[in-house]
Copies of this chain bind each other. A is one copy, B any other.
Amino acid sequence: MSLWIDGVVESRMSALDRGLNYGDGLFETMRLLDRAVRYLDRHLARLAQGCERLGISRVDFAALNHEIASIARTLDDGALKLIVTRGSGPRGYRPAGTERPTRVLAWSPPRVADASAGTDGVRVRYCSTPASVNVALAGVKHLNRLDCVLARSEWSDADIAEGLMRDSQGAIVGGTMSNVFAVRGETIVTPRIDRAGVKGIMRGIVIEAAHGAGLVVEEHVLTAAHLAAAHELFLTNALIGIWPVRALENRQLKPGPVTRRLQHMCSA
């Protein structure tokens, strides 16, 4: 694990940082490949949207882009996680507005277990921990992720790669660390992400690719019944790309033609 804080090699930060105290910040988990961050522009655009939603200003995105690209040139393939917090401040929820944002970069190696998942597909379960619902936070990749932590704590079977989370009304939100898509014929459906969950970078790329391929993409409420009726299911995130679902609980599925076509379009 290698760490940079505010652009310099450093592993520790202030315990007064609002990122720690309130989860008052955002993150991006980015794929490092051949000395560069894939989709860096998209990651930084989403980060900027998140800063706008949370009212975090004073982030210099041009400098951040340069910093990440420079550090990426020194690193092997793996995951590069970026955290941007509002910064440190006195006690109390109210931001002073004068905080200087903190940025943390952490590199970690690829996971061996992930290598064959794109080809073979993965096993998925349902989680009982609900996704936290808040329209003011939905879609944003913020640091308040206790719901995902508790959901991911529900199983330890290494053969199960992901768990699906639902909101308080039973609508499927996505995986603990991924977005979910259901394919039925030529139609692809994915949750709207307007009450809970994160709008993933790969989710956006897949939706664009599907549109480009003439497929129908719908964003609406997705229930367990929709998933049970789907011909194909797949998961997305920026590190894994597209993972076909080969089993959801006890139901077996095959990686299907739409999933394979999208994998082909979204690779490289």
Give the size of the chain A interface in residues (CB under 8 angstroms). Answer: 61
In the complex, what's the smallest C-beta–C-beta distance from A162 to chain B, in angstroms? 11
Does A27 sit within 8 A of B, measured CB to CB?
Answer: yes
Complex Cα–Cα for A254 and B135 (A): 35
Query: CB within 8 Å of B: which of A34-87?
Result: 54-55, 79, 81, 83, 85
Does A146 sit within 8 A of B, measured CB to CB?
Answer: yes
Does A19 sit within 8 A of B, measured CB to CB?
Answer: yes
* Copies of this chain held together in the complex: 2
Which of A13, A27, A136, A142 has the most B CB atoms < 10 Å from its CB? A136
- Asked if A22 and B153 sit within 8 Å, CB to CB, the answer is no
- Asked if A145 and B11 sit within 8 Å, CB to CB, the answer is no
Does A24 sit within 8 A of B, measured CB to CB?
Answer: yes
CB-CB under 8 A from A106, the residues of chain B are 15-16, 91
Does A1 sit within 8 A of B, measured CB to CB?
Answer: yes
- Asked if A147 and B130 sit within 8 Å, CB to CB, the answer is no
Chain B residue with Cβ nearest A26: B146
Does A250 sit within 8 A of B, measured CB to CB?
Answer: no
- Asked if A132 and B130 sit within 8 Å, CB to CB, the answer is no
Does A104 sit within 8 A of B, measured CB to CB?
Answer: yes
Does A209 sit within 8 A of B, measured CB to CB?
Answer: no
Does A14 sit within 8 A of B, measured CB to CB?
Answer: yes
In the complex, what's the smallest C-beta–C-beta distance from A71 to chain B, in angstroms? 15
Does A152 sit within 8 A of B, measured CB to CB?
Answer: yes
Does A131 sit within 8 A of B, measured CB to CB?
Answer: yes
**3 nearest A-B residue pairs (beta carbon):** A23-B23, A144-B144, A93-B152
Contacts A12-B13, A55-B153, A130-B136 known; 14 new A-B pairs at CB < 8 A: A1-B90, A10-B15, A12-B14, A20-B20, A20-B85, A22-B145, A23-B143, A24-B146, A24-B149, A54-B149, A54-B150, A93-B145, A94-B149, A132-B132
